Amino acid sequence: MTVDLSPAPSHSIELSVVAPVYGCKGCLEDLADQVHDAMRAMGVGFELILVDDASPDSAWERIKELAATRPWLKGLELSRNFGQHSAISAGIEHARGCWTVVMDCDLQDVPAEIPKLYRKAVDEHFDVVFAQRIERKDTALKRFSSWGFFAVLGWLTGVPQDPSTANFGIFHRKVINAVCAMPERDRSFPLMVKWAGFRTTRLPVRHQQRAEGESSYTLRRLLRLAMNIALGYSEKPLRMVAGTGMACALIAFVMVGISIWRWWDGDTQVAGYTSIIGAIWLIGGLMMFSLGVVGLYVGQVFRNVQRRPYYIVASTINGSEDGRG
**Host domain of residue 273:** 236-306
Let me know if residue 23 belongs to a domain.
yes
Q: Residue 25 carries which DSSP code?
A: G
pTM of the complete model: 0.75
The count of structural domains within the chain is 2
Q: Is the pLDDT of residue 324 over 60?
A: no
On whether both 54 and 163 belong to a single domain, the answer is: yes
Let me know if residue 313 belongs to a domain.
yes
Let me know if residue 4 belongs to a domain.
no
pLDDT digits (tens, 9 = 90+) for 181-198: 988 877 889 888 988 989
On whether both 270 and 295 belong to a single domain, the answer is: yes
On whether both 301 and 312 belong to a single domain, the answer is: no
- Do the beta carbons of residue 167 and residue 240 sit within 8 Å? no
Let me know if residue 10 belongs to a domain.
no
Let me know if residue 8 belongs to a domain.
no
Q: Is the pLDDT of residue 1 over 60?
A: no
Nearest to 78 by CA among 48, 49, 102, 107: 49
Let me know if residue 5 belongs to a domain.
no
Let me know if residue 139 belongs to a domain.
yes
On whether both 217 and 263 belong to a single domain, the answer is: no
Let me know if residue 6 belongs to a domain.
no
Write down the pLDDT at residue 24.
Answer: 85
Cα dihedral: 313, 317, 319, 324 (round 10)? 10
On whether both 208 and 85 belong to a single domain, the answer is: yes
On whether both 260 and 112 belong to a single domain, the answer is: no
On whether both 27 and 90 belong to a single domain, the answer is: yes
On whether both 85 and 187 belong to a single domain, the answer is: yes
On whether both 65 and 194 belong to a single domain, the answer is: yes
Separation between Cα atoms, residue 293 and residue 102, nearest integer Å: 33
Domain with residue 66: its CATH number is 3.90.550.10
On whether both 45 and 159 belong to a single domain, the answer is: yes
- Do the beta carbons of residue 76 and residue 113 sit within 8 Å? no
- Do the beta carbons of residue 174 and residue 127 sit within 8 Å? yes
On whether both 170 and 292 belong to a single domain, the answer is: no
pLDDT digits (tens, 9 = 90+) for 92-132: 999 999 999 999 988 889 999 999 999 999 999 999 999 98
On whether both 74 and 162 belong to a single domain, the answer is: yes
Which of the four pLDDT bands, split at 50, 70 and 90, describes residue 322? very low
